[in-house]
Amino acid sequence: MDTPIMTALRLHAADQHLTLLSSTPAVADYNRRYFGSWWKAFEVPAATAWTGPLLAADVNEAEYAGLRALVEASPHEKASYARAETLVAHDATGTITAVSPGPQLAYLHHTLSGYLSLRGTDAEQVGLASARIARDTLRGLLLADGWTLLHASAAVRDGQAVLTFGAKGAGKTTTALALATRGWQLLANDRVFVRPTRAGHLDVLPWPSAAAIGLGLLDALGWCDIARTRLHDGDRLHPTQHPEVTQALMTGRRTPLWESDGRRERKAHIFPDQFNAWFGLDLATEGRAATVLFPQIDPSARPAALNQHRALGDEDFMHGATEDRYPDILGLAPTGSGSDHARQAVAAHLAQLPHCSVRLGHDLAANADFLAHHLA
């Protein structure tokens, strides 16, 4: 039997890094694709993998079964993690072991050494979970290094970033994508890392993630036919996308799809690299905060500036409490959205930037033209 080839993939953001070690090609490929567009992802010699935090992730049914038996036989708590029931056990050495029987994933975190292990029975599930754990590990490292996580989208031009804030449905994603269709670079569609510099600036980093875009917005962007062609050619959108959305795109549907409760829209889930490869948008890997924007969506209105002032609030910072789908069961980011001191410093920097409130309609081209002119 051939010896599996071990890949060591270094994931790098700002001054922090994590190494993913895997002999399952699909796992390394998924992380390379997921992080390579917004953070750095590059191979390093496997012998150097142990220099710093390490995540070893592989398909291994026997090891998964062993970790599951260990957790089930130990005192444990139950949690919902990534929409799956998860059993979590702690021991006296600081080791956290967790298992999600549904997707058949087992997690092991030696908190004192920073070593993480992930085992599962399906390559796609292990790939998804490894990217989630890798991102949360780097989040914890960045927060400990003075960065703060904001609930905002961001678009960049000439290194200057517009940060767009608002509650769900306010237009954060619409604003960022509208600007990206007018030559700006897309940095993030939902959240960003920020950190003040000694020179008095506020640096911005992306939070890599698949972007959830409703069919109506996808149609307004002119992307439905592109997605349909790509899907018929055998390409795939992100695996977390609901199958009904895939079917809708392939059959040409352009109106929203809703969950059974009628309150949540089922959206297309787009890989970071597909923004460029499919839709021709440029992505930014960093920026410097220059403007704070607060949009409002009024479907029947024409875009316009508003004579309103909205201060940033606690809801504009990402907290552990807001991560209802991904609670920090493994102790990867204990400071939540950053230290109180870091958050106060960020709030003070943002308060000094120009603030704009705008009304946007459902004519995306008109929105894009207005925003590009208004922010010029």
pLDDT in tens, 200-214: 899 999 999 999 999
Per-residue pLDDT at 322: 47
Query: What percent of the chain stands above pLDDT 70?
Result: 96
Per-residue pLDDT at 1: 52
Q: For residues 223-228, give the mean pLDDT.
A: 97
- The span from the CA of 169 to the CA of 264, in Å, is 11
Greater model confidence, 314 or 237: 237
Q: What's the pLDDT tens digit per position in 167-184?
A: 888 899 999 999 999 999
User: Which amino acid belongs to residue 357?
Assistant: S
Residues spanned by CATH 3.40.50 within the chain?
148-210+271-374
Greater model confidence, 1 or 143: 143
Residue 320 has pLDDT above 60, yes or no: no
Contact, 330 vs 96, CB < 8 A? yes
Which of the four pLDDT bands, split at 50, 70 and 90, describes residue 325? confident
Q: Tokens standing for 363? A: 């004519």
Contact, 287 vs 297, CB < 8 A? no
Which of the four pLDDT bands, split at 50, 70 and 90, describes residue 47? confident
Q: What angle do CA 269, 29, 134 make, to 5 degrees?
A: 75
Alpha helices in the chain (DSSP H): 25-36, 61-72, 123-144, 172-180, 215-220, 224-232, 243-251, 272-277, 340-351, 364-374
Residue 97 has pLDDT above 50, yes or no: yes
Whole-number Cα distances in Å, 43 to 18, 36, 332: 12, 11, 23
Per-residue pLDDT at 337: 60
Q: Give the orientation angle of helix 25-36 with respect to helix 123-144, to 10 degrees.
A: 40
SS3 state at 267: coil
Give me the half-sphere count of Cα atoms (radius 13 Å) on the Cβ side of residue 160.
9
- The span from the CA of 251 to the CA of 233, in Å, is 14
Candidate from 86-90, 173-177, 252-256, 322-326 with smallest mean pLDDT? 322-326
Q: What's the pLDDT tens digit per position in 26-44?
A: 999 999 999 999 999 999 9
Q: Which of 268, 269, 115, 141 is nearest to 205 (CA)?
A: 141
- The span from the CA of 208 to the CA of 38, in Å, is 6
Residue 262 has pLDDT above 90, yes or no: no
- The span from the CA of 25 to the CA of 45, in Å, is 16
Q: How far separated are the first and last CA of the chain, in Å rounded? A: 62
Residue 85 has pLDDT above 50, yes or no: yes
Greater model confidence, 372 or 52: 372
Per-residue pLDDT at 19: 96
Q: For residues 90-99, give the mean pLDDT.
A: 96
Whole-number Cα distances in Å, 348 to 186, 196, 312: 25, 10, 10
> 3.30.300, 3.40.50, 1.10.287, 1.50.10: which CATH number matches 148-210+271-374?
3.40.50
- The span from the CA of 209 to the CA of 138, in Å, is 13
Q: Tokens standing for 256? A: 């929203």
- The span from the CA of 215 to the CA of 255, in Å, is 6
Which pTM does this prediction carry? 0.93
